[in-house]
């Protein structure tokens, strides 16, 4: 269970990071 939860958190963190990176690219 813990491994699954960690994986889900990782996916959410990656998705958030990609959104931030995408926003930064558009600003450039």
Q: How many degrees, rounded to 5, is the angle at CA 20 between CA 18 and CA 21?
A: 65
pLDDT in the model for residue 8: 75
Please give the residue range of the domain that contains residue 15. Answer: 1-28
Domain count across the chain: 1
* pLDDT tens by residue, 1-28: 676 787 777 889 999 999 999 999 988 7
pLDDT in the model for residue 14: 93
Q: 3-state secondary structure string, 1-28?
A: CHHHHHHHHHHHHHHHHHHHHHHHHHHC
Q: Give this prediction's pTM.
A: 0.55
pLDDT in the model for residue 16: 95
pLDDT in the model for residue 6: 77
């Amino acid at each position: 269970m813990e491994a699954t939860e960690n994986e889900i958190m990782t996916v959410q963190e990656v998705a958030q990071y990609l959104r931030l990176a995408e926003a930064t690219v558009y600003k450039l």
